[in-house]
């Protein structure tokens, strides 16, 4: 077990290093000069070169990569003298447009995205599994027909459209929910949840569809499974049999959720945009728009880190649900 975790960690580190390299190369391939945005107007060539040298964007992608990795461990210093900026380790780069190191920026934005993603994850699991289970138990009933339609709709409609619809209906037409803003949990848990209900609905709506389908199919399979009949034939009570059926449903749901960590972060970019929340997705978008290399690399890498950790946790939890994996 420990060997397994260690091996996974080493793989994860290499994966992150490769992701950083690819992101930096892609960024420079885009042939947008980050110095151009910083130097203001008018921007004579010599000033631009100076700015570029100061921001260290005049170097090659490989050099950038080496500096970046070095910065992660020992920190990084930009410029000299009065203009010197130091970015302490672990340095994900320094964002000149924001006048702040990326680590601080991510730390600022993280609570928003985490609140959004975790809440949406819980809502999507509750709604998805709940609806799926109900439609399997009463197959062909009203709930089943409703949730089949719901799942079709959820699978086929893009996030931004759902976002705008929710915003329009609940925010503007019914005036029932706030249409933007974020209140931190520590400040007021009630307000925190109140402001996030809209984004949660949007984000979980899309994802819940998949869980409705998987739960319904899997539970239907389990309910007619021979091994459950066999268990009854051994003298097990209904409750014992049902507990066993739940396990059969949870295994694929857990596997699916591990993959959906990615979708959750990706979807939050759009949900944050629609609801004007200043989270990681919003930070990444602004970084792309302002050609801010440090932010793009930093946020990309951090998101990749979250996804890898999420998958690792899922992989470690899976054997608890499905003992067959323990042996592999």
**Contact footprint for another protein (CB under 8 A):** 225-238, 244, 247-248, 251, 322-324, 327
Least distance (Å) between residue 144 CB and another protein: 16
| Nearest to another protein of 25, 255 (CB atom) | 255
Least distance (Å) between residue 280 CB and another protein: 37
- Of 231, 241, 229, 258, residue with least CA distance to 319: 258
| Nearest to another protein of 67, 322 (CB atom) | 322
| Nearest to another protein of 3, 233 (CB atom) | 233
Cβ partners under 8 Å of residue 141, min gap 6:
135
Least distance (Å) between residue 215 CB and another protein: 17
- CA separation for the pair 106, 299 (Å, rounded): 7
Least distance (Å) between residue 231 CB and another protein: 7
| Nearest to another protein of 12, 231 (CB atom) | 231
- Of 297, 302, 267, 253, residue with least CA distance to 110: 302
Place of tokens 């307000």: 191
Cβ partners under 8 Å of residue 94, min gap 6:
76, 78, 85, 87, 100, 101, 102, 294
- CA separation for the pair 133, 244 (Å, rounded): 14
Buried b or exposed e, range 252-261, using 16+ CB within 10 angstroms: bbbbbbbebb
- CA separation for the pair 241, 180 (Å, rounded): 47
Least distance (Å) between residue 105 CB and another protein: 45
Least distance (Å) between residue 3 CB and another protein: 21
| Nearest to another protein of 61, 137 (CB atom) | 137
Place of tokens 């077990």: 1
* 3-state SS, residue 94: strand
| Nearest to another protein of 176, 229 (CB atom) | 229
């Amino acid at each position: 077990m420990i060997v397994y975790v260690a091996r996974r960690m080493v793989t994860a580190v290499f994966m992150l290093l490769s992701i950083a390299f690819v992101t930096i190369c892609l960024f420079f391939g885009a042939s947008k000069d980050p110095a151009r945005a910083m130097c203001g107007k008018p921007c004579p060539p010599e000033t631009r070169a100076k700015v570029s040298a100061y921001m260290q964007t005049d170097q090659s992608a490989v050099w950038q990569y080496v500096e970046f990795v070095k910065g992660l461990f020992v920190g990084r210093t930009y410029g000299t003298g009065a203009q010197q900026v130091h970015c302490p380790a672990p340095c994900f780069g320094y964002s000149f447009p924001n006048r702040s190191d990326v680590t601080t920026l991510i730390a600022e934005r993280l609570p928003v995205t985490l609140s959004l993603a975790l809440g949406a994850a819980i809502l999507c699991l509750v709604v998805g599994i709940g609806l799926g289970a109900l439609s399997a138990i009463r197959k062909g009933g009203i709930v089943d027909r409703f949730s089949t339609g719901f799942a079709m709709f959820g699978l086929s409609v893009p996030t931004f459209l759902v976002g705008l619809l929710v915003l329009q209906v609940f925010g503007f037409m019914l005036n029932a929910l706030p249409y933007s803003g974020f209140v931190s949990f520590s400040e007021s848990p009630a307000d925190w949840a109140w402001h996030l209900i809209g984004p949660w609905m949007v984000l979980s709506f899309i994802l819940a569809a998949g869980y409705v389908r998987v739960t319904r199919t899997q539970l239907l399979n389990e309910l007619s499974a021979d091994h459950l009949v066999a268990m009854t034939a051994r003298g097990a009570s209904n409750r014992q049999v049902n507990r066993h059926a739940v396990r059969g449903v949870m295994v694929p749901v857990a596997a699916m959720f591990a993959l959906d960590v990615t979708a959750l972060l990706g979807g939050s970019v759009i949900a944050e945009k629609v609801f004007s929340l200043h989270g990681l997705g919003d930070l990444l978008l602004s970084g792309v728009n302002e050609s801010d290399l440090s932010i793009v690399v930093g946020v990309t890498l951090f998101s990749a880190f979250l996804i890898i950790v999420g998958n690792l946790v899922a992989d470690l939890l899976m054997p608890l649900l499905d003992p067959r994996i323990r042996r592999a």
